[in-house]
Structure 1
Amino acid sequence: MEPRPFDPLTRTRTEVTEPYGYFTDLDSGHVLHGGEIRPAYALGAPTPLEVWRRNLEIVTAILTAAGVDFFAVPGFSLTRPVLGAAAADRQRVCTALAMLCESTGGRLSVPEPAFRESELGLSKPEWARRADMGDVPLVRASWLWTDPGRDLLFGPDYGCDVEFWTETGDGHLLAPRHNRISPVVRQSGARVSAPGRLFTALAGGAHADLPHLPTRTEFARPGPDHVGFPVDVVYTWVDGADHAWRRRRADADHSPYHAESDNDARYVDREELRFSLRSLHLNAPWVRHVYLITDRQRPHWLEEGPGLTVVDHRDLFDDPDALPTFNSHAIETQLHRIEGLSEHFLYFNDDMFVGRPVGPQMFFEPNGLARFFPAQTFIDMDPVSRADSPPNAAFKNDRALIDRAFGRTVSRMMKHVPYPLQRSVLAEMEKEFDEEMERTAQSAFRDVTDVSAVTLQHYYAYLSGRAVSGQAQDAYVELGMPDVAERLELLLERRDRETFCINDAGLPPELVEERSALMQRFLEAYFPVASPWEKGLAL
């Protein structure tokens, strides 16, 4: 690979505790990081994948200049590239990297090896069997990267590891820790080139391609944990302040059965979509394409271009007589009709965000099974009635269909986490439950007879062997919560949630302006890097 220039860039000074955090108390100078004064190098629009690539390019360039033979290793980390080198080259590697870090403000450290012996049932490598632990098994070279506004900091958790592989005496090299494929390679094995996407699950999307990397034959093909199929994202969005849309809604014949069926708050746009797209671009660059479903609207800031397509309701609904619709349940019955949509896709509400780098394996098994994320919220077993809120009524109707199809009873709602769906399952459900799906599609406003195609798909796929239960480090925040400011501050400080949702449930009218401004400040601080789909920034 051709390394990019490593030039001195804008620097700032602050106290930083997280490797991927945000700056406060800005001043000119350097960054005080872990007790060290170090330069922070600014990138125009940094992302975890871009920093992964930058650090890798820097280290591979210096090893090449030092005449060290190295190979890419499929490590466990999403954000840290890993290279392997023969233990005989340890001194050359350490000397070259130490000189580079000293001259550029980088840091060379020795991370704790992560050889998971108890989990894998493997023997300890040779260095770990010695009383003094032998020579260092690996080193990590890292630099501090930031954005021009000095809001994000990418630190040691994005550094490049260089492992020192030892000779076994039988023609193999042994790793100092395990990786996703094999702890041993043939010592005389040929050096080959392999796609960069094999070495981090962050890569794979249309805008996330990496160059080929030198590696060994053992690592040149994907392992069983690699997701090789495309994953798209679908959003539904509405701007309730649009006058033309409001006229269509006023002209629609409706008499809401429940206060939540046609509540104005459901249609308020606080530009959450802008920041949700930023979170997707930043932390899930493996997404192939984004589809935004709207009703003759589009956000004023949106730049439709490569990787994003706006889909109008008129191009989505099979029956034009069902339009206009103001019912999310109705729209969700039609998602599988999106032209060009991949079999596996994620359905986002615009108040859902990806909080830190995640791989597609969080949402889909490599063999194609979808994951779903049951909440601890249980719905009562009483028959559906007009006293039920629209979400609860839809769940009860879903439960009746699941009982009819599989003889099983379900009672748990889903977490507010992006929903992994399969296009073929939705199409199959449309035939299996044709009357219920069609009736929902025809409901212009949420009705007591609706089904929720999303919740129904999760349980239908699970009970037909096409989905499994998953785990997510998530957060759910309501703007109406008394402690919402503290909850958002904690999210911003820790940045440890894989996904989070900020819902306007329970927000009293007198607090709308204050809480909306609070949410806007939070989102701007958390996601300061614009996505490619904002005007003036198209790819």
Structure 2
Amino acid sequence: MADNSSDNERIDFVIPWVDGSDPEWLKERNAVSSDIGKSVSSEGRCGSDSLKNGDSIEDNSGARYYSWDNLQYWFRGVEKFAPWVNKIHFVTWGHIPPWMNTDAPKLHIVNHKDYIPEQFLPTFNSNTIELNFHRIEGLSEKFVYFNDDVFLLKPAAKEDFFRNGRPRDMLAFQPVVANPANPVMSHILLNNALVLSKYFDKRENVKKQPGSYFKPGYPLLYFGYNLLELAFPLFTGFYDTHGPAAFCKSTFGKVWELENDILTQTCSHHFRGDDVNQYLIRDWQKLSGNFTPANIAEGLSYCELPGGADRAADIIRKQKARVICINDSDRVTDFEGIKNKINSAFESILPDKSSFER
């Protein structure tokens, strides 16, 4: 059962999910893409991103649909390792995994149309899905956002995400680089920094909260980044881990109030483009001092597939990290073999069904 504590004490989880092989979803996506003159890839994946390459959808008609079939392990991990969670808001276009127990007391199934303004629908844009989280009915002020490739492997306490009533995070500079392999993200990160620079002065912010930039326990690499960045008067970008992200719902409302135009522009795009994303909200929290400085990279392992498949399976089986991010890519070749390897590892530590399963 969800707890009866005050909203200030409750912590919810939010996880978006897409079934990329759902024929009705594909039909709607094809219709929208045809309207804007784009061809739709037949690649399917589970996750908040319906597209891999930003707002350009490549014709990939020979590619196979695929699903990692491991979302149940995410729920098992949460129930076993974070039983204190108040509510899980499961965000979906409308499809539900066949194994899901829709009557689970802590589960809130959220359709896009339940919280995203009608003017932005239908959407296949992860930025739209994320930037409107604060509109989810019943969402607690404190919540943690998970991608569906981020799993708990060990017990996690509330204090791992929020401390002193504020999100735990790390304030570190990291230059935005021109990455030809992912140009959309390069544009997004720079656009985020441009918005933030309207409200925060870099050097003044360092003076205002030096302990947030040079917190004992931060990785030495980021001490170095922050020291070097002091030579440059303007923001060049920020470091954000690819793991669970703790948010205050009110921060979303604040940024929407101040930057309605750019957020509306971003959300008006049916597919993800080089606008802004949820890192804007996360970095706003940090620059405004509404966070507790901590090395949140500690206990987090990141594995890129296919090359990191063996390492990922080993980390899962031996529970070497508290959290693992398993990031797949278009280069996965032996998909079935890698999927079986990863899911077998999950099954070895999470063999029992959760209350979220039938």
Q: TM-score, normalization: structure 2?
A: 0.77
Q: Name which of 71, 75, 78 aligns with 1:280.
A: 78
Residue 390 of structure 1 is matched in structure 2 by: 184
- Residue matched to 2:122: 324
Other-structure match for 1:246? 26
Q: Which residue of 2 aligns with 1:461?
A: 285
Determine the C-alpha separation between the residues in 2 that align with 1:517 and 1:377.
Answer: 36
- The equivalent of 2:322 in structure 1 is 498
Q: Which of 161, 168, 179 matches 1:371?
A: 168
Q: Which residue of structure 1 aligns with residue 2 of structure 2?
A: 206
Q: 1:230 to 1:406 in 2, by over 3 A?
A: same
- Matched to 2:199, the amino acid is A
Q: What SS does the corresponding residue of 1:502 show, helix, strand or coil?
A: strand
Partner of 2:200: 406
Please give the secondary structure, in 2, of the residue aligned with 1:531. coil
- The TM-score with structure 1 as length reference comes to 0.52
In structure 2, how many angstroms separate the alpha carbons of the residues matched to 1:333 and 1:389? 21
Higher relative contact order (CA 8 A, sep 6+): 2
Distance 1:425 1:334 in 2: 11
Decide which of 91, 114, 123 is 1:315's aligned counterpart.
114
In structure 2, the residue matched to 1:531 is 354
Offset from partner CA, 1:150-189 (integer Å, 9 cap, x none)? xxxxxxxxxxxxxxxxxxxxxxxxxxxxxxxxxxxxxxxx
Q: Which protein shows a greater Rg?
A: 1
Task: Report the 3-state secondary structure (helix = DSSP H, G, I; strand = E; otherwise coil) of the residue aligned with 1:406.
Answer: coil
What amino acid maps onto 1:431 in structure 2? E
The aligned amino acid for 2:167 is A
For 2:343 and 2:16, locate their aligned partners in 1 and report how far apart those are by CA, in whole Å. 20
- In structure 2, give the amino acid aligned to 1:260: N
- Deviation for aligned residue 1:457: 1.6
C-alpha distance in structure 1 between counterparts of 2:67 and 2:92, whole Å: 13
Change (3 A) 1:519 1:427: same
Residue deviations 1:475-496, cap 9 Å, x none?
A: 0112221x52144224412x13
Q: Distance in 2 between the 1:386 and 1:505 partners? A: 15
Distance verdict in 2 for CA 1:486–1:338, change over 3 Å: closer
Which residue does 2:226 correspond to in 1? none
Q: 1:268 to 1:323 in 2, by over 3 A?
A: farther
RMSD: 2.8
Query: Which residue does the alignment assign to 2:210?
Result: none
Deviations 1:400-421 (A, max 9, x none): 1111111231523321211101
Counterparts of 2:288 and 2:199, CA distance in 1:
10
- CA deviations 1:248-291 (Å, max 9, x no partner) are 111113448x96124789x9532332111111111011100000
Which residue does the alignment assign to 2:271? Answer: 445
Alpha-carbon shift at residue 522 of structure 1 (Å): 1.6
436-445 or 518-527, which deviates more: 518-527
* Larger fraction in strand: 1
What does 1:147-162 correspond to in 2, within 5 Å? none
Mapped pair 1:334 → 2:132: yes
Instruction: Label 1:268 to 1:342 Cα distance change in 2 as closer, same or farther (>3 A).
Output: farther
Against the structure 1 CA distance between its residues 251 and 506, is the aligned structure 2 distance closer, same or farther, given a 3 Å change threshold?
closer
Distance of aligned partners of 1:386 and 1:486 in 2 relative to their CA distance in 1, 3 Å threshold: closer
Q: Is 1:293–1:313's contact at 8 Å kept on the other side of the alignment?
A: yes
Q: CA deviation at 1:506?
A: 5.1
Distance in 2 between residues matched to 1:368 and 1:425, nearest whole Å: 14
Give 1:252-263 correspondences, 5 Å limit: 252-253=32-33, 254=36, 255=38, 260-261=53-54, 262=57
Give yes or no for contact 1:231–1:344 (8 Å, CA) kept in 2: yes
Identity of aligned residues (%): 27
Task: Describe the SS at the equivalent of 1:232.
Answer: strand
- Whole-Å separation in 2 of the counterparts to 1:395 and 1:331: 18
- Seen in structure 2, the aligned counterparts of structure 1 residues 285 and 208 have a Cα distance that, compared at 3 Å, is farther
- Please state how far the C-alpha of 1:386 moved relative to its aligned partner: 9.3
Match of 1:419 in 2: 245
Secondary structure of the residue aligned to 1:293 is strand
Q: How many aligned residue pairs are there? A: 303
Question: Counterpart in 2 of 1:345?
Answer: 143
Structure 2 stretches lacking a partner, 5+ long: 40-50, 203-234
Match of 1:353, SS state, is strand
Gap runs ≥5 in structure 1: 1-204, 210-226
